[in-house]
Amino acid sequence: MNSVIYLDHAATCRMRPEAIAAMTEAMEHTFGNASPSYSIARDAKRCLDNARAVLAETIGAGWNEIFFTSGGTESDNWALTGTAEALQDKGKHIIVSAIEHHAILHTCEYLESRGFSVTRLPVDSEGRVRPEELADELNARPDTILVSVMAANNEIGTLEDIGTLCRYTHDHGALFHTDAVQAYGKTDALNVSAVPVDLFSASAHKIGGPKGIGFLYVRNGTRLQSLIHGGSQERGRRAGTENVPAAAGFAAAAKAAFANMENETRAERELQAYFRERLLAAFGERSGDSPAPSGILWNGPLPGDDRLANNISVSFPGVSAESLLISLDLAGICASGGSACTTGALDPSHVIMAVSGDRKRAEGTIRFTIGPENTKEEIDRTIEVLGEALQRIRTM
Ligand code: PLP
């Protein structure tokens, strides 16, 4: 067993060897700036465009619909702000789900400060946006220009019904964006010819590529203002000298992720089911209205088709997730809390609050995200450390 047990793959993951090899090759041999027309620059441009073509193919897009960005955050900011600025003559209303990542939610707050209005759709107790509620909101607000709903939630792993939500949105003449940062490379259901989203955000470091690069898919013909101004890179839509080695690493990681998806997902699903069984065996399940002082609450859908294979989100209501995370960390186990630490205070997770409305549950939530290299022994050890920590906390 490794001395560190890494169970935070949704935060980031180890780079795949294929990505390291592709980046090293590009750094050693393709140092040119991709813009000029001499041979070294042409090599860099070729490397960049090969990477673009590989990435485009993974989602059934055309090469000229993929724009490199600095990652998921920039892609999300660009999708929302770029659409808002381009379409404000049509309307100034945007719909998102209440459980989006802060890259979306904080961009919405920015847009509200610029005169746009935003509806945050509630979700059901497993984190699903109900298509009928979207339809009602679209009917009520004909000035809606954009709907943005994530493909998979980063905290509780819920997969959204992007196909239906996209269809309803298009029926009302608005654009549809999906933040696919957690879903990209983990499901092959995200093909833009089958599910015709207009905008799609992805990030390399969630699939074993480098940090600091992502892409925004922009369907041909979509009106979108630029977010970053300067040179004419990325066909005049996203300025800044391109990071060619990172693009090569991203493409290599994506190729490997898609080629190994079936095997990796199968391994993760098995571990996810095992993790759940072990949690229930060790701590029991607390029923919603039970006053019992112990027991866990499972967040999001049960393991299966409606949930990412790598995510386990569990609440220990009444216990501080922070204390549990410290105990896990002391034992060399990396996991993450359902809370974001902002300005020194712990804010309960907006996702757990949206699915349960229960602050104690949100404050006691831990997210484990596994990778195919994790083992049952690592999960057993995690359960053991959690058990010891809970006993210590409860007798304090
Ligand atoms: N969107 C989701 C759903 C995420 O999980 C993340 C990162 O955790 C982001 C956006 C931001 O991506 P990046 O780290 O590439 O900026």
Give dist(CA 172, CA 168) in Å, integer: 7
Strand partners, 340: 347
User: Which of ligand 1's atoms lies nearest the C-alpha of 211?
Assistant: 15
pTM score, whole prediction? 0.96
What three-state secondary structure class fits 113? helix
Give the dihedral of Cα atoms 45, 46, 50, 56; nearest 10 deg. Answer: 40
Beta-carbon contacts of 393 under 8 Å, excluding residues fewer than 6 positions away, are 319, 320, 323, 324
Q: What sign for the dihedral angle of Cα 128, 134, 137, 141?
A: positive
First to last CA, the chain: 31
Kindly state the DSSP code that residue 205 receives in the 8-state scheme.
G
Distance from the alpha carbon of residue 229 to the mean position of ligand 1, in angstroms? 23
User: Which of ligand 1's atoms lies nearest the C-alpha of 214?
Assistant: 15
Distance from the alpha carbon of residue 351 to the mean position of ligand 1, in angstroms? 15
CA atoms within 13 A on the CB side of 217: 31
Cβ atoms of 65 and 74 within 8 Å: the answer is no
Cβ atoms of 40 and 54 within 8 Å: the answer is no
User: Residue 312's CB: how many other CB atoms inside 10 A?
Assistant: 28
Residue type, 276: R
- Residue whose CB lies within 8 A of the most ligand 1 atoms, among 101, 158, 310, 336, for a mutation test: 101
What three-state secondary structure class fits 336? strand
What three-state secondary structure class fits 68? strand
The position carrying tokens 């088709």 is 305
Residue type, 75: S
Distance from the alpha carbon of residue 139 to the mean position of ligand 1, in angstroms? 31
What three-state secondary structure class fits 121? strand
Cβ atoms of 35 and 230 within 8 Å: the answer is no
For ligand 1, atom 8, which residue shows the shortest CA distance?
11
User: Residue 381's CB: how many other CB atoms inside 10 A?
Assistant: 16
Q: Record the tokens describing residue 108, joined without a space.
A: 């919405």
Give dist(CA 172, CA 14) in Å, integer: 42
For ligand 1, atom 12, which residue shows the shortest CA distance?
72
Residue ranges in the chain modelled with pLDDT below 50? 1, 341-344
User: Which of ligand 1's atoms lies nearest the C-alpha of 73?
Assistant: 16
Q: Record the tokens describing residue 313, joined without a space.
A: 């989100």
Kindly state the DSSP code that residue 204 receives in the 8-state scheme.
G
Check residue 237 and give its pLDDT: 97
For ligand 1, atom 9, which residue shows the shortest CA distance?
72
Q: Record the tokens describing residue 138, joined without a space.
A: 């679209």
Q: Mind giving me the DSSP string for 358-388?
A: -HHHHHTEEEEE--TT--HHHHHHHHHHHHH
Beta-carbon contacts of 233 under 8 Å, excluding residues fewer than 6 positions away, are 34, 35, 239, 240, 241, 242
Give dist(CA 260, CA 269) in Å, integer: 14
Check residue 342 and give its pLDDT: 44
Check residue 81 and give its pLDDT: 98
User: Residue 142's CB: how many other CB atoms inside 10 A?
Assistant: 12
Which residues sit with their C-beta closer than 6 Å to ligand 1? 71-73, 76, 101, 103, 150, 154, 179, 181-182, 203, 214
Say which of 47, 166, 334, 341 is annotated catalytic: 341
Q: What sign for the dihedral angle of Cα 23, 154, 73, 164?
A: positive
Give dist(CA 346, CA 231) in Å, integer: 41
pLDDT digit string, tens, across residues 107-117: 999 999 999 99
Q: What is the CA radius of gyration of the chain?
A: 22
Beta-carbon contacts of 148 under 8 Å, excluding residues fewer than 6 positions away, are 76, 79, 80, 94, 95, 96, 97, 100, 104, 176, 177, 178, 179
Strand partners, 121: 97
Cβ atoms of 129 and 150 within 8 Å: the answer is no
Is 341 among the residues known to form the active site? Answer: yes
User: Which of ligand 1's atoms lies nearest the C-alpha of 212?
Assistant: 15
pLDDT digit string, tens, across residues 136-179: 999 999 999 999 999 999 999 999 999 999 999 999 999 999 99
